[in-house]
Copies of this chain bind each other. A is one copy, B any other.
């Protein structure tokens, strides 16, 4: 039997067919989104805006599934009838406005070219002011709303984007019957849902990004929302009261889409979740294990048994029951730039030369010892997601002498992201979350052994690398198989799936004692600099430096 996993990324959708007996991928295929710049619709006037055309999701989905099925049929054992479930992950929070029939407003002729009617991609930061407003109001009248999502509401999240829409495009906002996360929209349309109310919403998206809590009775209350903006009146009725974990069945593949995709009608479609969360499952998340998806940015995830007495962890993206695996509290944190930082440095600041510059500088940097450069950097080139939750922080490098070389800076930037990773781990531990071991996945772990060793030395933990290069799509397929259930040939639960699918590469990075000792010394310095620029109550002047520079840059007085 097989399950199909669909991973809707920032630029493309990936489809994976998971062989449920063997626990390995039989076939996979990728299809880029046709609109915008690599699937992202930008705005010349607003550098913070990043939208997607929902129509891309439909087209690319079909193509990616067809391509994967075509590849799979090379294996004579495979037939499409053996697919027993579908799981879907997407980026998030990526909400879009829909009409009462669950049709995206951007499908209407009058909204076709209106960016405000499209999907608001996770990295759309146009709603920074609205996020601050929400944080401020919640701190004042509903502190409990922020308690389990790190204490600060982000511009990347659901209600910031809705509020921004309500403020900047009344027409679109008023024409909307509901607003739906990309990860909820896909299962709903595949299972033929005909209204927003029928769509089953994900607790992952709801709990981490929309202040949802089953205990508190769902989403933020009407009074809170209307205090934010009177146009939010009645919005609770347009949204949902209950959200469900992935693995729960969102619906069954409808005839129309079964035909389009060439898959059996009526197979269960799992409730969706965010890519990183399903990726964590694909990488073998369990209590004590931190899964790090390391790419242009990172996402750090772990789970804790529900019974365990945990305090809310300030400064992480959230601790939400059932958000990663049903039955566990799912925890998510991350760094807003990692690979992006190295790419920026290599592209802009290195003497051009032949060959792969990443490899060249990684090689030069790998010959240096910890501390040898005398440099220290803060990894805030794209702000700080955790634990400071502050997009208005910027990168810093210090320790320059007239002998400082580019490869030293390159290494210092890697180290900075490693120290940033350690800050998150220490914060989790401080609040009772155990992290024994790290499993890495994403674009970087395979390509940059230097970074992996540095991370191991800095965090003092062994790091394994997930064998699959497609942990997100594999994780999605696992949830498809959980929705199908044990009797149909699927999985009983995540633990069973983990035993079947989890494989690691041979190489395991282990901390070197001497390097760790040096990095312990440098980490203390990193933490001092981190805190003085990032925490408000240590030195008010220093805390204000990066923010004031951004104000000056933007022309504000």
Contacts and interface: CB of A to CB of B under 8 A. Distances in A.
Interface residues of A, number: 52
Interface string A505-530: 00000000000001001100100110
A396 to B, nearest CB: 4
Interface stretch (A30-38, A366-374, A471-479): A366-374
A108 interface: no
Contacts of A521: 548, 552
Contacts of A546: 398-399
Most buried by B among A340, A382, A522, A549: A549
A529 B552 contact: no
A121 interface: no
Nearest to A552: B371
B532 A341 contact: no
A438 to B, nearest CB: 25
A363 interface: no
Nearest to A557: B521
A375 interface: yes
B522 A542 contact: no
Copies of this chain, complex-wide, total 2
A525 B539 contact: no
B542 A529 contact: yes
A404 interface: yes
Contacts of A533: 398
Interface stretch (A60-68, A187-195, A349-357, A418-426): A349-357
Contacts of A350: 349, 351
Contacts of A528: 541-542, 545
Given A518-B552, A545-B529, A401 B382 contact: yes
A530 to B, nearest CB: 11
Interface string A398-431: 1111101110010000000000000000000000
A125 to B, nearest CB: 12
A548 B351 CA distance: 30
A348 B406 contact: yes
A204 B396 CA distance: 41
A344 interface: yes
B340 A376 contact: no
B532 A549 contact: no
A545 B375 CA distance: 10
A548 B525 CA distance: 8
A174 B552 CA distance: 61
Most buried by B among A378, A394, A550: A394
A401 B376 contact: no
A382 B403 CA distance: 9
Nearest to A553: B374
B396 A553 contact: no
A19 B402 CA distance: 41
Nearest to A522: B552
Interface of A: 337, 340-341, 344, 348-352, 371-376, 378, 380-382, 394-402, 404-406, 409, 518, 521-522, 525, 528-529, 532-533, 538-539, 541-542, 544-546, 548-550, 552-553
14 contacts: A349-B409, A373-B553, A375-B549, A376-B545, A381-B402, A395-B400, A397-B400, A399-B549, A518-B552, A521-B552, A522-B552, A528-B542, A532-B539, A539-B539
Given A348-B351, A397-B398, A397-B400, 19 more contacts: A337-B402, A344-B404, A349-B349, A349-B406, A371-B552, A381-B400, A381-B402, A394-B398, A395-B399, A395-B400, A396-B396, A396-B398, A396-B399, A398-B549, A399-B546, A399-B549, A522-B549, A525-B549, A528-B541
